Amino acid sequence: MIKEFTNAPEAREFMYEGKAKKIYTTDDPELVRIYYKDDATAFDGKKRGTILDKGVVNNRTSGIFFSYLEDNGIPTHFQGLVNEREMITERVEIIQVEVVVRNVVAGSLAKRIGLAEGTVLAFPVLEFYYKSDELGDPLINESHMKVLNLATPEELEIIGGMALRINGLMVGFVEPRGLRLVDFKLEFGKNSKGQIILADEISPDTCRFWDLETGKSLDKDRFRRDLGEVEEAYHEVLRRLEVGLNG
């Protein structure tokens, strides 16, 4: 079941526009309204374009994953879908560390460690990136995070543990639907109570999904690498995720 927000508060003041979303305040200081765009970027904004209905797919896909994770004990900022392009979320202060969980070698990891793309890793690999457009979101370690005061060791332990648990839950959700979760990016934030919760989005923009049988890419790599059938891939992921869902 996907959570929906009935009688959702209207968008008020514009807060922020990112590469994929616009965020607005609402009458409730604890809640924000997020609008998903069709804009697509890659390679730190060097490549730009539009993926038709990407915002619709990513909004609903994120709603599916957030609802599923909430049902399995993962705290998230998600409060419910409003319409095909908007959701209501809890207002959070984003921790400036992006967490990437890798199950299969792909993309930059193949270049960095020399294993062939498609190699299944013996166990999930956690990576941390400094969330900085100016620096190109560089790969960082625990010492870097301490020097930059991005997260305490205790916070990092919470984030890392949650990321691995999310990975296990998501793999268990997508594999019966014929999808391999190759890798994915997560962002976390602190709510007004200081609790660390999952934020941002979970979609073909932030995850690598491959067809379990053919290995065909069904994610943003089709845009990055000019593989074609971009819109079709996004819609195919959503179609599979909706199998067996009520609402």
Q: Read off the tokens for 115.
A: 């294993």
Q: Could you tell me the CA-to-CA distances from 220 to 7, 61, 170, 190, 205 in Å, in that order?
A: 33, 14, 18, 28, 5
Condensed to tens digits (0 to 9), the pLDDT of residues 10-30 reads: 999 999 999 999 999 999 999
Q: Are 128 and 163 in contact (CB under 8 A)?
A: no
Task: Tell me, rounded to whole angstroms, the distance of Cα 88 from its chain centroid.
Answer: 16
- Assess whether pLDDT exceeds 80 at residue 9: yes
Decide: 247 and 2 in contact? Cβ < 8 Å.
Answer: yes
What digits encode the pLDDT tens for the residues 142-163? 999 999 999 999 999 999 999 9
* Per-residue model confidence (pLDDT) at position 44: 73
Task: Note the pLDDT tens digit of each residue in 186-220.
Answer: 999 999 999 999 999 999 999 999 999 999 999 99
Tell me how many degrees the CA angle 83-85-86 measures, rounded to the nearest 5.
65
pLDDT over 80 (residue 128): yes
CA atoms within 13 A on the CB side of 232: 5
Q: What is the pLDDT of residues 75-125, one digit of tens each?
A: 999 999 999 999 999 999 999 999 999 999 999 999 999 999 999 999 999
pLDDT of the residue at 169? 98
pLDDT at 237 over 60: yes
For residues 9 and 31, give the distance between their C-alpha atoms in angstroms, rounded to a whole number. 8
Asked if pLDDT for residue 49 goes beyond 90, the answer is yes
* Residue whose tokens read 């932030």: 206
At 247 the pLDDT is 44
Pick from 39-48, 67-76, 154-163, 234-243: least confident? 39-48
CA distance linking residue 197 with residue 216, whole number of Å:
32
Whether 56 has a pLDDT exceeding 70, the answer reads yes
Residues 6+ apart with CB under 8 A from 46: none
Phi, psi angle pair for 29, to nearest 5°: -65, -15
For residue 36, give the H/E element and its range: strand 31-36
